[in-house]
Structure 1
Amino acid sequence: MIIRQFFIPGIAHSSYLIGGVGSCLIVDPARDTDRYITAAKEEGMRIAGILETHLHADFVSGHRDLADRTGVPIYMPERAGCLFPHVPVSEGSIINLDDLRIEVMETPGHTPEHVSYVLTHQSRGDRPGAVFCGDTLFVGDVGRPDLFPGRSRELADALFTSLHERLFTLPDYCEVYPAHGAGSLCGRMLSAKRWSTIGYEREFNQAVTIRDPEEFVRYLTTNMPPAPDHFSRCSEINRRGPTLLSELPVPEAFSPRQITEILDKNTTDVVDIRRYDAFGGFHIPGSWNVDTEVNFSTFAGWILPPDRNQILVAHDPQQVHDAVLMMRRVGLDRVTGYLAGGLQGWAFAGYTSDHVRIISVHELASLRTDTPGLLILDVRTQAEYAGYHIPGSVNIPWPELRTRYHELDSSRSIAVICGTGVRSGIACSILKRSGIHDICNTAGGYTGWIAAGYE
């Protein structure tokens, strides 16, 4: 028996290959499925099936793509109500693979339809040795139950039962393979450790150590981080069945003139995927700025309108290729093209450009004392702001600026700050798109502010 884990940074997604003698199963696959085809060939195995633990909210799954490429069945929780061909599974369903036995355990809580797959290596014994538990149990945390409006308490109750009456009846040595690690917003305190055991989590997982049901519910229904916009969208895409990647158009290289003609139709947004400092120096007016180097899938899925086309502005074609893949992971399938020749070509063509002033933390310190009416806009999360902030600053988390920008006095100069400059770069692009132009972005953010000794 072999177990191979595939980890995607940013969305912090883990998927798995479970191998028997000559066949294998893929658990919770990503949408870009080459990795599984390659791994199966490396192991000399035939992919025999695809297992999904639940309708994933934070990414679009690769179940349909992998099934299309291999012709194998997709096993889905019966309660998911999926609209594509699949094999429904429920409590007690058995999947046999060579000398492996996989039993379905219903573990609702993070989502109503959630199941876990309990693996027994029958040639070694008749007791389970591993469980693929999706987003029910993480290393160091459990799945958030608040993704369904009005059902948080119900799902938190169900999660408590799934943990203590289901998963934690497994042996302490049973290995735990979750669908996410540190960096995912599907929980609050996920460890950077990629796998664990039932015994370890029983002892050290803070949520699991809460044995009172009421206290557990309170713990999981308060102070959760905001859920990005694409969570509900991805869940429904996964239920309906994503469009096959092979059916999506290949983005075209557009000239500056073609882009201006496209933008005149008001069906397309420009997404500048360069670093915030490059965006600040020179960009196409009205562009979004989402840097590919920092959690791009989550940030893009959070704010970009899914019902509009996108044209990318990048450093080079490889960055475009990578960005398109990361956008498709969160259901943004409408990238029609990119600016050929980058911003240099735009400049040579003589078209209008815009910029955002980039300031150092030392300049911000000077502006605080020398600029009457300066507004310092802190776009970090409420929790980060509560932990430390510049006195007198105003906190509006960057995703909320799309609807709360009108709370700002556009007649004042605004200095935007986050932890590093990346999120404030996104915020500046939102403000620019909203008609607020007297702004500057603080390079280095609070990281630089504190390092420089400011309070």
Structure 2
Amino acid sequence: MLLEKIKTPGLSHLSYLIGSQGKAAVIDPRRDCEIYVERARAEGLEITHIFETHRNEDLITGSPVLAKMTGARVLHGPNPADEIVFADTAREGDVFEIGKLRISVLETPGHTDDHLAFVLHDDDFPEGPVGVFTGDALFVGDVGRTDFYPERAREVAGLLYDSLQKICGLGDQAIIYPAHGAGSVCGSGMANREFSTIGHERRNNPRLQIADREEFIEAKLAEHHYQPPYFRLMERLNVEGTSPAPRILRPKRLMLSDIREIDADHVVDVRDPLAYASGHLPGSICLPVGMISAFAGWFIREGETIALVGSAEDQLASAMTHLVRIGLDSIVGGYVGIVPAAAQGMKMASLPMIGTNEVQDRLERKRDDWTLLDVRDLDERRSGAIEGSDHIYVGELNSRFAELDRERAYSVMCASGMRASVAAGWLQSKGFGKLDIYLGSMGAWQHAS
């Protein structure tokens, strides 16, 4: 028996390859899906089935592409928002054989209407299910979000409660294999590990501690989640199917002359925030490689062209990979070398950094031409905020920047300064000239108090 977890960094997406006696199946493949074929062939396995736990909102599925590569059958749940043109429908009670392994289907709506869990049975261990692929219904330390049907909020929260009871009924011995780990936008309380059992989750997962259905529903209704605009793009592409990822996940090399004349919709600087703040191309936005999956979809729309700027070729390649996985393929090229560009007379912009003493001084003086702008999420804000600060979540600045006064001075803060750099870079690209970043942000403030 083979069971291999394949993690997609940035998205914290977890997909799986399982196999037995020459046959294999993939659960929730990503768009750049050659990896599954390579791993299967290395083990002497043929991929015959592709199982989708649900229509993903945060990444493009690789199922239709992988099906064309392998001839495998794609299985998806009933009640999708629209016809999944590349998949057959699997329903509760269906059983699929993968060598000596069996996959049985549970319908587990709540996170989405079409959500399924796939229960793993091994004929060599008849005591009970070996594990269950829980998709976005049950995570390690958390459960799925239920905010995708706002007009049915109470109903779908109740459906998730019922689905979780069904999953827990598989037995404490069953290992859970979720579709996401910590850092995913699909849950806020996931543990920083990717292994667990139903028994452990039953005893330790805060949401599974709620035994009363109505109490569970109220807890889910009280949650706050953000929905980036690119979720709508993912939903559409995961119904229609999409093209394969580009064969070469490295952007075309841009020269300095190209950068001077570039006409891309977005120039995206993927270096670390301190490097960006010290000097960057005017009009460029700050999206460090490790933050692209979380924030690019807030600021870049489908079809908009992108030029990448980085400090190394591998950095540009990683950035392009992250962008392709969320459908932002229109990358015109990449440039390496901000320092050489500056040395050749290229005009540079910068963003000053300030510390806690300066923030305290400005607050005490009650400057009427200045705002401390907190760009953390609402849950962070509720857990502690600096008196006198204003709040707009970093992602929502994609449009809410229009509410702000370009003549006003802003110090941008978050928990450490990382998201503040993203926010400040976006505001600067929109014509805000009186900006600085609170270095250390809330962490520094709490340490000083």
Question: What TM bracket, shorter-length normalisation?
Answer: over 0.9
Structure 2: unaligned runs, 5 residues or longer: none
For 2:312 and 2:446, how far apart are their aligned partners in 1?
34
Which amino acid counterpart does residue 322 of structure 2 have in structure 1? M
In structure 2, the CA distance between the partners of 1:448 and 1:289, relative to structure 1 (3 Å rule), is same
**Structure 1 segment 237-256 matched on structure 2, within 5 A:** 237-246=237-246, 251-256=251-256
Deviations 1:271-324 (A, max 9, x none): 11112222222222221211113x321111232222311111111111110001
1:77 aligns with 2:77: yes
In structure 2, the CA distance between the partners of 1:301 and 1:209, relative to structure 1 (3 Å rule), is same
Deviations 1:169-221 (A, max 9, x none): 21221221111122222123212231322222222222223232222111112
Q: Find the counterpart in structure 1 of residue 266 from structure 2.
A: 269
1:50 aligns with 2:47: no
**Structure 1 segment 305-324 matched on structure 2, within 5 A:** 305-324=301-320
What SS is found at the alignment partner of 1:347?
A: helix
Q: TM-score, normalised by structure 2?
A: 0.92
8 Å CA contact retained: 1:120, 1:126: no
Q: Find the counterpart in structure 2 of residue 421 from structure 1.
A: 417
Deviations 1:410-441 (A, max 9, x none): 33322111111111111112211222110101
Q: Find the counterpart in structure 2 of residue 7 from structure 1.
A: 7
Which amino acid counterpart does residue 74 of structure 2 have in structure 1? I
1:67 aligns with 2:67: yes
Shift of residue 108 of structure 1? Answer: 0.7
For 2:355 and 2:436, how far apart are their aligned partners in 1?
10
8 Å CA contact retained: 1:120, 1:128: yes
What SS is found at the alignment partner of 1:186?
A: coil
**Structure 1 segment 68-147 matched on structure 2, within 5 A:** 68-80=68-80, 81-125=82-126, 127-147=128-148
1:405 aligns with 2:401: yes
Moved more, 414-423 or 195-204: 195-204
Which amino acid counterpart does residue 113 of structure 1 have in structure 2? D
1:283 aligns with 2:276: no
What SS is found at the alignment partner of 2:146?
A: coil
For 1:35 and 1:79, how far apart are their aligned partners in 2?
30
What SS is found at the alignment partner of 1:58?
A: coil
Identity of aligned residues (%): 34
For 2:35 and 2:423, how far apart are their aligned partners in 1?
35
For 2:287 and 2:89, how far apart are their aligned partners in 1?
39
For 2:316 and 2:407, how far apart are their aligned partners in 1?
37
Shift of residue 3 of structure 1? Answer: 1.8
Which amino acid counterpart does residue 145 of structure 1 have in structure 2? T
In structure 2, the CA distance between the partners of 1:39 and 1:361, relative to structure 1 (3 Å rule), is farther
The count of aligned residue pairs is 447
8 Å CA contact retained: 1:262, 1:268: no
For 1:246 and 1:378, how far apart are their aligned partners in 2?
38
1:338 aligns with 2:338: no
For 1:412 and 1:85, how far apart are their aligned partners in 2?
52
Shift of residue 351 of structure 1? Answer: 4.2
Which amino acid counterpart does residue 323 of structure 1 have in structure 2? A
In structure 2, the CA distance between the partners of 1:52 and 1:330, relative to structure 1 (3 Å rule), is same
Aligned Cα root-mean-square deviation (Å) = 2.3
8 Å CA contact retained: 1:31, 1:60: yes
What SS is found at the alignment partner of 1:196?
A: coil
In structure 2, the CA distance between the partners of 1:276 and 1:371, relative to structure 1 (3 Å rule), is farther
For 1:195 and 1:79, how far apart are their aligned partners in 2?
30
For 1:250 and 1:278, how far apart are their aligned partners in 2?
22
Structure 2 residue corresponding to 1:298, chosen from 276, 294, 297: 294
8 Å CA contact retained: 2:185, 2:294: no
For 1:371 and 1:305, how far apart are their aligned partners in 2?
38
Shift of residue 66 of structure 1? Answer: 2.4
Deviations 1:226-285 (A, max 9, x none): 23222232122111112211478963222343344442xxx6211111122222222222
Deviations 1:46-86 (A, max 9, x none): 32221111111111122233223333222222433444433
Q: Find the counterpart in structure 1 of residue 152 from structure 2.
A: 151
In structure 2, the CA distance between the partners of 1:103 and 1:391, relative to structure 1 (3 Å rule), is same
Q: Find the counterpart in structure 2 of residue 182 from structure 1.
A: 182
For 2:168 and 2:323, how far apart are their aligned partners in 1?
37
What SS is found at the alignment partner of 1:440?
A: strand
In structure 2, the CA distance between the partners of 1:381 and 1:249, relative to structure 1 (3 Å rule), is closer
Structure 1: unaligned runs, 5 residues or longer: none
Q: Find the counterpart in structure 2 of residue 167 from structure 1.
A: 167
Deviations 1:138-179 (A, max 9, x none): 122211110234232221121122122x22221221221111
Which amino acid counterpart does residue 177 of structure 2 have in structure 1? Y
